[in-house]
């Protein structure tokens, strides 16, 4: 059997973030489904929604922000007590991590 994390460890850690993917590996799961979007500066970022509204401390369409602006957002909104900042990552950073 192969276990696959959905957007990382979606219900246990901030989804589609480096922190979420690290948490998934700590659980012993090494396969993940993730979502990719384009930023305003045409960078591939990892985020499920077309907006940042649901998971971050900002509002707006992903295409309205640069990759750096997305990385600086706090994408832990559904986890208000998450111990560290975790922005919206570049796909390259997720793959390198």
- Please pick, among 30, 48, 81, 85, the residue that the annotation labels catalytic: 48
Has 6 been annotated as catalytic?
Answer: yes
In this structure, are residues 55 and 16 in contact, taking their beta carbons and an 8 Å threshold? yes
Nearest CA among 43, 24, 25 for reference residue 90:
43
The tokens for 12 are 């246990």
Has 30 been annotated as catalytic?
Answer: no
> Catalytic site residues?
6, 48
């Amino acid at each position: 059997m192969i276990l696959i994390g959905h957007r990382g460890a979606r219900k246990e850690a901030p989804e589609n973030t480096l922190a979420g993917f690290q948490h998934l590996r700590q659980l012993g799961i090494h396969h993940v489904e993730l979502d990719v979007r384009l930023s305003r500066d045409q960078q591939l970022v990892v985020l499920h929604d077309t907006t940042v509204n649901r998971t971050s401390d900002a509002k707006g369409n992903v295409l309205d922000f640069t990759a750096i602006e997305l990385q600086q957002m706090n994408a832990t909104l559904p986890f208000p007590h998450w111990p560290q900042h975790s922005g919206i990552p570049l796909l390259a950073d997720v793959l390198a991590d």
